[in-house]
Chain A
Amino acid sequence: GALVYQYPRRTICKSGTSMRMECQAVGFQATSVAWYRQSPQKTFELIALSTVNSAIKYEQNFTQEKFPISHPNLSFSSMTVLNAYLEDRGLYLCGAGQANSDYTFGSGTRLLVI
């Protein structure tokens, strides 16, 4: 079956530092990877959508300068939260999918900023 692994599961970083999270697709080719954030007590917001052979598309309020994403092959993606502050805390979710199929979500990376 299709599985998506995200790591680390939880992480703590000091305010102003950066943190990188990774997403691994197993059992299928992830032609698209979507990164979402769930801030405390809120819903999931799309950060950006990465599709092979296309530019990474960031949603309003999210920028490449703050959340650089790498999608070097069909099984792996990473995203970094640069210069993290309190408002960046939350659950970061990676969803990976193929053309014309639904996303499979990873277990998420929970970020705590202190």
Chain B
Amino acid sequence: AQSVDQPDAHVTLYEGASLELRCSYSYSAAPYLFWYVQYPGQSLQFLLKYITGDAVVKGTKGFEAEFRKSNSSFNLKKSPAHWSDSAKYFCALEAPGSNAKLTFGKGTKLSVKS
């Protein structure tokens, strides 16, 4: 069975600072990894995904994520953060061959203060 852990329920920082949202996963093989963002009252928007290859993946809205097999992590990063980045961020895992079934973490609510 696979799982995704986002240990930080809330992250608060000031505009201009660097943000890093943590995500770790548990899966027996090489997973596909995703980050999605949910703005208040809205649905999910795709940010980026990791399939294979370069450990650093660049996505939309200036975000990037780094895959680290050594500690099973896939942290989301952006610098500098902007107040409009305030939202809830979800890390998700797909087991290859599962027909795109996603397992989501509990999400991290990011608040960027101006």
Complex Cα spacing A43 to B46, Å:
15
A46 and B102 form a contact (CB under 8 A): yes
Complex Cα spacing A102 to B98, Å:
12
Q: Mark A70-82, 1 if CB is under 8 A from B, else 0.
A: 0000000000000
B52–chain A nearest beta-carbon distance, Å: 14
Chain A residues within 8 Å of chain B by Cβ, number: 22
A34 and B101 form a contact (CB under 8 A): yes
Question: Using a CB-CB cutoff of 8 Å, which residues 74-112 of chain B contact chain A?
Answer: 90, 99-107
A-side contacts of B99, CB under 8 Å: 32, 49, 51
A-B CB proximity, top 3 nearest: A108-B43, A44-B104, A107-B43
Binding site for A on B (CB under 8 A): 34, 42-46, 49, 90, 99-107
Binding site for B on A (CB under 8 A): 6, 32, 34, 36, 42-46, 49, 51, 91, 93, 95, 97, 101-103, 105-108
Q: Can you identify 12 A-B contacts, CB atoms within 8 angstroms?
A: A34-B100, A36-B102, A43-B90, A43-B105, A43-B106, A44-B102, A91-B43, A97-B100, A102-B46, A105-B46, A107-B42, A107-B43
